[in-house]
Amino acid sequence: MKVLVTYFSQTGNTEKVAKSIYEEISQANDVDLKKLDDVGVEDFAGYDFVFIGSPLHSANLAAPVKKYLANIQAGSNQKMAGFITHFSAAYPNQDMEGFTEPIKAVCKEKKIEYKGCFDCQGFLAEALHEPIKTALNLSDEAWGEMHKQMTGHPNEEDLISAKAFAREVLN
């Protein structure tokens, strides 16, 4: 099976998950690992299965990922799965469904089989700590706890879960 693992990453969190997925599935598939900027929308049709990764920005997929999805040229019998990273320790399942809606909508429109989405906590870029703390109106204590929860993610357990997700959706 010809598989593409592509991603947009600014802090390295989403890239770590992409590399983990690539490492797992490249053992039994013909797999390309590429940053989103290195994949033309016309290239998309050449793959049987595409994993696409994005950080969450303001509770949405990153703008470059949404733009790419809107312009892809699908092939026949394709499948797609997403993977996202975020700074929150946990999102309720109903929220996760909303975050993946742009991927689902493109799959439905372009007749691509949607196979699910993996989510993983990541560490928020230092430059965003104070603006996020302020926007969420968090006390120093509450922010300290949130900071402690995100430190070290994605960790080894997260990456093992990403590999398991990849195996599951490819079968």
**pLDDT, tens digit, for every residue of 65-122?**
999 999 998 888 999 999 999 877 655 555 666 778 899 999 999 999 999 999 888 8
Buried b (16+ CB within 10 A) or exposed e, 80-100: bbbbbbbbeeebeeeebeebb
List, in order of start, the domains of the chain with CATH numbers: 2-170 (3.40.50.360)
pTM over 0.85: yes
Q: Is the pLDDT of residue 131 over 60?
A: yes
Contact 13, 55 (CB under 8 A): yes
